[in-house]
Amino acid sequence: MAAAKKIILITGATSGIGFELAAQLAAKGSYHVLMGARSLEKGNASLSALKAQNLAGAIEMLHLDVTQDDTIERAVATVERNFGKLDILVNNAAIAAMSPPLRQQMQDAFNTNATGPLLVGSAFAPLLRASSDSPRIVNISSGAGSIGRRLDPSSPLYKVHGQYQYRASKAALNMVTACQYVEYGPEIKVFAYDPGFTQSNLSPHNVAEHGARAASDSVMPLVDVLEGRRDDEAGRLLHNTGTYPW
């Protein structure tokens, strides 16, 4: 008898890292991928693009806006009704929130980048606990949210000014990760993961011309976290070859 597919939900899966992660996991055939999408139109378009590749695994779109409680509640109800559990949650949805004024930037960034993952994780925790297959939460964070790196003159981020809203929201997400690790463990393993500077629509700077790497290259090390090969580093801020200080 074939092994049951792992149920994985990826928020913000219509483009960039989320889309590439959905594609790589669906290609494996051992996952049932739920593509979280804020926009139904973009979600359906991304789903059609992946299905056109005739991937081995199962994949479907799930309407989920991490800033809207009603869509979170409906997404939980759908997953519970269709699967009765969730094996992996990847909190990937994020924004750079670069439109002024600064107060609005801060509010928008925290709402999507920190509050959203906190509420989504809390809502899906019962379904993760219902999994018997090493359930886990991976919060896609950033080394830009590391206070230790910000204060380190040898860090490449030390001389990069501004970006308060993004940095602060990712620092908050790191604390969310630490709290989830303590409160959900040991049943649910929780990680923060920095995929590095990656080509995406996060900001106009996330392009190859500015040194951003392809999403496919950023996703490959992340799969190691999802598949248990870095479980000894749970509760920390990981990157592709190690960890960053909080």
Rounded Cα distance, 240 and 196, in Å: 8
Catalytic residue among 6, 31, 85, 170: 170
User: Do residues 38 and 65 lie in contact, with contact meaning Cβ atoms separated by under 8 Å?
Assistant: yes
Residue 111 corresponds to which tokens in the numbers above? 């709402």
Catalytic residue among 6, 31, 85, 166: 166
Rounded Cα distance, 203 and 210, in Å: 11
Clarify whether 170 is annotated catalytic: yes
Q: 27 burial class (0-12, 13-18, 19+ CB within 10 angstroms)? A: middle
Rounded Cα distance, 43 and 14, in Å: 6
Q: Where are the alpha helices (H) located in the chain, listed in sequence order?
A: 16-28, 40-51, 69-82, 102-110, 116-129, 147-150, 164-184, 215-226
Clarify whether 28 is annotated catalytic: no
Residue 210 corresponds to which tokens in the numbers above? 């500015």
The set of catalytic residues is 166, 170
